């Protein structure tokens, strides 16, 4: 009888070891992210669901230490169901590359998952209805640093009356996560000839890289 019990215990240990090698924890996280993605895609919680083409849950690695969070999807994002795929997205991809990451190495999303009409700023009630999805993404991913792109994203994480120029450049804390507010890529595009703004964004990204051990 003792030998049978010992055999059962050994079999359990082997199964645990096997599942660990398969990355069962990772499978559970992937499943949670996929379930959340489906929930966002079919969300009807606010009026934005009536005017969108596609919800835009976000994309990238859920094993990352770095998240980029913008304001809301734009026209191209609404069409494709992917975040930051227009001109601003192309610039963000270049910034990510300059930071020695690939786009697929980080996670990119917005505080609001559906496009506001005419790309207007999301309303407080829309953010309120949508914020639970972002909180769940933070729980699943558990990043070390969030880069908040633009004033709306910065205001979500940081309670301050400062404008973006004064706010950016410093790291803040949100639920034990470092937050770096910086200018939205679309703002850089609108001010294409302003080297000072580009330099400020790069200074911000260098501070993020330092926290993450990137040289």
User: What pLDDT digit, counting tens, does each position of 92-107 carry?
Assistant: 999 999 999 999 999 9
Quick one: pLDDT at residue 214? 82
Instruction: Give yes or no for residue 3 having a pLDDT over 90.
Output: no
Beta strand 66-70 with 145-149 is parallel
**Sheet containing 145-149, strands listed edge to edge, beginning at the edge strand earlier in sequence:** 59-60, 107-110, 66-70, 145-149, 177-182, 172-174
Domains and CATH numbers, the chain: 2-211 (3.40.470.10)
Q: Which residue has the tokens 């082997």?
A: 14
pLDDT, the chain, mean: 90
User: What pLDDT digit, counting tens, does each position of 70-88 carry?
Assistant: 999 999 999 999 999 999 9
Q: How far apart are CA 16 and CA 85, in angstroms?
A: 41
Q: How far is CA 191 from the centre of its chain?
A: 25
Q: How confident is the model at residue 19 (pLDDT cuts 50, 70, 90)?
A: very low
Quick one: pLDDT at residue 16? 43
User: What pLDDT digit, counting tens, does each position of 137-188 carry?
Assistant: 999 999 999 999 999 999 999 989 899 999 999 999 999 999 999 999 999 9
Q: Which residue has the tokens 């660990």?
A: 20
């Amino acid at each position: 009888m003792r030998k049978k019990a010992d055999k059962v215990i050994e079999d359990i240990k082997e199964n645990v070891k096997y599942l660990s090698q398969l990355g069962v924890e990772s499978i559970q996280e992937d499943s949670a992210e996929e379930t959340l993605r489906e929930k966002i895609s079919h969300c009807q919680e606010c009026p934005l669901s009536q005017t969108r083409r596609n919800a835009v849950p976000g994309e990238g690695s859920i094993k990352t230490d770095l998240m980029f969070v913008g304001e809301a999807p734009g026209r191209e994002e609404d069409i494709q169901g992917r975040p930051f795929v227009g001109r601003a997205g192309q610039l963000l991809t270049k910034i990510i590359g300059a930071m020695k990451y690939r786009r697929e190495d980080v996670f990119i999303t917005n505080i609001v998952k559906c496009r506001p009409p005419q790309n207007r700023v999301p309303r407080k009630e829309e953010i309120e209805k949508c914020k639970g999805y972002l909180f769940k993404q933070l729980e699943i991913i558990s990043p070390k640093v969030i880069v908040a792109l633009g004033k709306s994203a910065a205001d979500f994480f940081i309670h301050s009356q400062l404008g973006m120029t004064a706010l950016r450049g410093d790291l803040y804390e949100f639920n034990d996560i470092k937050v770096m507010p910086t200018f939205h890529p679309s703002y850089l595009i609108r001010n294409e000839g302003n080297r000072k703004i580009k330099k400020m964004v790069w200074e911000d990204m260098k501070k993020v890289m330092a926290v993450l051990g990137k040289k």
